[in-house]
Structure formats: C-alpha cells, structure tokens
Chain A
Amino acid sequence: MKERIDEIVEVCLLAGKLMLESGGETYRVEDTMMRIAASFGMPRSHSYVTPTAIIFSIEGTDSTRLLRISDRSTDLAKVAAVNDISRRISRGELTLEEARKELRQVGRAQPGYPLWQQTAAAAAASACFASLIGGMSHFFPSLLSGGMAFWCFEMVHRFVKIRFFAEFFAAFVAGGLVLLMERAGFGGDVGNMMIGSVMPLVPGLAITNAVRDLMAGHLIAGLSRGAEAFLTAFAIGAGMALSLAIR
C-alpha cells in the first residue's frame, strides 16, 4: 500500500512539474494533481503551488513532498498534453504505470518549434505589427530588427540566467538597429518600428496567468506573476530608452 501511494504521489508531482515548468497557471497545476490523485483512489489530497515550488501531500499518510521548480519556459503544447493525459486518467483510461510512461514521454519531448522557426516567427510577427500600426513601409526594417531582438533574447538568456537582463539587452538591440536603419534612410517612423520589434518580448503569458491565478484566489502566485509581467515591461522600456538616450 505504501509503495502504491508513493507511486501515485510521484505521478502527480511529475504532472505538476511538467505543467508548471511549461507555463501552466498555478490553479490548473493544483487542480490537475488533485484530480489525478482522486482518480487513483486518493480523494483527499492537498497541494500548494507557487511559481517556484510544489508541495503535495495525501491525507492520512505521513509523507509530504516538496518539489522545487527552478527553470521555467513557455511551452503551451506541453501544458495541453499533460491536461489531456489528466483527462484520460479521470475517465479511467490509463493505469498508473501507463500514465507515468506517457508523462515521461511528454517530459522528454523537444519543443514543438526549433529556435530558427521561433526566430522567423518573431521576425514576421514584428513586421506584421509594425505594418499594422504604421503602414507597409515598416515591414522589412521591422522584420530585421524584430528577428534580431528575439534571437538576442534567446542567446543572452542561454548564457546569462537573468531573464530581465536578456529582455533589456534584446530591447536595446532592437532600438539600436532601428535607429541605425533610420540614419541609413531605410524604413519609416522610429516609434512604430521599435514597437513592432519588441512585440515578441511582451509578457503576454505572464499577464494572462497573473489574471487567471488572481481570479482563482491564488494571491501569492497571481501577484508574483504580475510582478514578473511588470518587470519585463520595465526591462523592455529601459532597453529602448537607453538606445534612444545614447542616440
């Protein structure tokens, strides 16, 4: 019995860890873990999730497990995959062993889009936004500066683990490139091009998750995600401001 409970806890924690690391909302993580535990015959479980840690315990047993989450990225396909597995567990379609195997598979999976595809998407999205607000003459300059900004963000983030610095630097690169292009007489309005180029850095997921967590009553998680969104916006603004200031 003790081994089985340990295994259930392990599967719950694996599901929670995958979701939280991939950018799932904290209330969804708690809900998923408790549903999985209930489907395996443990209806009374407690979970406490913050963006950086998971605490999980099943009532009536002695062990409470704590899992530290240090690395977070954005991979919503993984959140959807874990969500799907949890639904199938609730319907009784998966045994404990199968669930663990499928979750491990999700954990090992590579991101759905390689870096070059994401960079290309960021470049094209920047170009589309700049054209949307400023007109089609902004398309190609923003394609260049938006793509470079996103690529710089990913590269700097790989070496310097401080996310806000990477965002700051990327915004600075975008601003610098736009100003250089303006000096070379290439492109249109500086403001429109800069806004377009930093769009891929905007903390859309942090804003959404902050609101959804606050609504679900997770005040700590919601406030910390809100702080994340605010700091990101501030880093982007500061990066652009620096490039404008040294012009």
Chain B
Amino acid sequence: MIVGQLLLCFVASALFGVIFNIPRRLLPHSGFVGMSGWAVYTLASRSGADGVAATFLAAFFVAFLSNVFARRYRTPATIFTVSGIIPLVPGGTAFEAMRHVVMNDYNAAISLAAKAFMISGAIAMGLIFSEVVNQLVKRRP
C-alpha cells in the first residue's frame, strides 16, 4: 500500500518535470524529490503531527534534497523544488473550501480556506528555512 503510494508519487512528480520542461536526464531526480517529500509528510502525519507541521517538515526536506542535487549536478535548485512541492499543495482543503462557498456556507468555507492558507504558508516557510540552513552550510569554511 505504502509502496504503491510512493511509486505513484514518484511517477507523478517526474511527470510534473515534463510539464515544467526540465532537462530529460533530471526527470528521475525530480521524481525522487517529490516522492521523498510525500514520504516525510506521510510519516509525520501518521506519527501524530498536525497537517501544517507535517507540510513544513516535508517542504524543508524537499528543499534540502533539491539543494543537494543542485550542487551535485551544477544546476538551479528550482528544477527539483518545483515538482517536489506539488504533492504537498493543499488541493483537497482548497477544494472543500470552494465547495462550501458554492453552497453559501461561508463559515465552513472561511475556516477551510484559512487552513489551506496556513498549509501554503508552511510550504513557503519550509523552503525558507531550508535555504537558510543551506546558506549557513555554504558559508562554513
């Protein structure tokens, strides 16, 4: 079950690389980054972490791995990050929020939208923290 999910995530993230036009030889790597991000997210949320915290950890790991690959292959880290964060995007929550707007149930819609917003913010914060760590490591002699 988990293996199947990871495999799906790997394939989906690599295919996102095609949509973003990343170099062909780096497609498996972007798939791997997406899969690892999802694995961290699943692990964290299964061990009881809140959705926002789990997303933060996963985004942190995605950016960390992207920076490792970027140094290794001498290419911009964005190439790996873009498809890596896609599985973390709060599609389900955003969808539910929108469905409640259509049903004129604004109270539920706003609380769901706030949750989706927090998760998006967690993705951004994860990327930022990872970049900070990356710069600290780079500066060390």
Contacts and interface: CB of A to CB of B under 8 A. Distances in A.
A160 interface: no
Contacts of A204: 16, 20, 82-83, 85-86, 89
B78 A121 contact: no
B139 interface: no
A124 B27 CA distance: 15
Nearest to B24: A112
Given A128-B12, A204-B89, A241-B98, A83 B21 contact: no
Contacts of A125: 11-12, 15-16, 19
Chain B, interface SS category: helix
A77 interface: yes
A42 B55 CA distance: 44
A150 B20 CA distance: 13
Contact of A195 (B9, B92, B124): B92
What's the interface size class on B, roughly?
35 or more
Chain A, interface SS category: helix
A77 B23 contact: yes
Interface in A66-101: 74-80, 83-84, 87
A163 interface: no
Contacts of A233: 94
Contacts, number: 139
Given A28-B76, A208-B81, A208-B127, A191 B96 contact: yes
Contacts of A76: 20-23, 76, 78-79, 82
A78 B91 CA distance: 29
A84 B74 CA distance: 8
Interface in B1-44: 5, 8-9, 11-12, 15-16, 18-24
Contacts of B18: 113, 117-118, 121
Given A74-B20, A111-B21, A202-B86, A122 B79 contact: no
Contact of B78 (A25, A150, A241): A25
B120 A194 contact: no
A132 B4 CA distance: 9
A204 to B, nearest CB: 5
Nearest to B6: A132
B19 to A, nearest CB: 6
Given A122-B15, A204-B82, A208-B82, A112 B102 contact: no
20 contacts: A28-B76, A74-B19, A75-B21, A76-B21, A76-B78, A80-B75, A83-B75, A111-B21, A121-B19, A122-B15, A128-B15, A131-B8, A150-B19, A205-B78, A205-B82, A207-B123, A208-B78, A208-B85, A212-B127, A215-B131
Interface of B: 5, 8-9, 11-12, 15-16, 18-24, 74-76, 78-79, 81-83, 85-87, 89, 91-92, 94-99, 101-102, 120, 123-124, 127-128, 131
Given A121-B19, A241-B101, 13 more contacts: A75-B21, A76-B78, A77-B22, A80-B76, A125-B19, A128-B11, A132-B12, A204-B82, A211-B128, A212-B127, A212-B131, A237-B94, A241-B102
**Chain A to chain B: the 3 pairs with minimum beta-carbon distance, closest first:** A128-B12, A121-B18, A125-B15
